A = this chain, B = another copy of it.
Amino acid sequence: MDTLEAIKSRRSARAWEPGSVPSDIVRELLTAAFYAPSTSNQQPWHVVVVDDRDVLSRAAALNPFGLMAAKAPMGLLVCLDKDLERFPGTGIQDCAAATQNILLAAHALGLGAVWTGIHPDPSRVESFSALFGLPKDVTPVSFVLLGYSAQEPRPFDRARWGRVHVNHW
């Protein structure tokens, strides 16, 4: 799928057909994450691939905005390893760029995905860290839920030309 088309037609998916995501597709999604830009090219991320139904159900119970995890074919938990940050505080943006790459790659590959936010909510950060056994210096940033979408949400006009300024606010 063309890049600009992917950017403009991507929507969040929150309901999926049953059935797992093939492993070669998962590999493409992970590759997309790894190819995101990062501060000083430190790539300060780890990804937990989640396809265990029990783990997905337990994750759903930890996030009121992520209940659909219980029915998602899989999840990708993007985590920041603070030990890999050369400049503290920059890694969250790096992980967000990696997450966006996953969403676009998923859409281009015919999947439907949704970004559920973990960081900076303290309760979610703590409970997800415990569920996935994350080391002390690792922070869960985003949990992308995905599979083959059961819906086909239509793109809508998101342009906000009133928020564009030229050379000065």
Interface residues, chain A, with chain B CB atoms under 8 Å away: 1-4, 6-8, 10, 12, 28, 30-32, 34-37, 39, 43, 45-52, 55, 81, 87, 89-90, 92-97, 99-101, 103-105, 107-109, 115, 117, 119-121, 132-135, 138, 141-142, 158-161, 163-169
Main secondary structure of the interface of A (DSSP, over half): mixed
Pair B120/A164 contact, Cβ less than 8 Å: no
Q: Which residue of B lies closest to A115 (CB)?
A: B37
Pair B165/A105 contact, Cβ less than 8 Å: no
CB neighbours of A49 from chain B (8 A) = 164-167
CB neighbours of A133 from chain B (8 A) = 168-169
11 residue pairs A–B, Cβ–Cβ below 8 Å: A2-B2, A4-B109, A7-B104, A10-B35, A34-B159, A37-B115, A46-B165, A49-B164, A50-B166, A50-B167, A89-B120
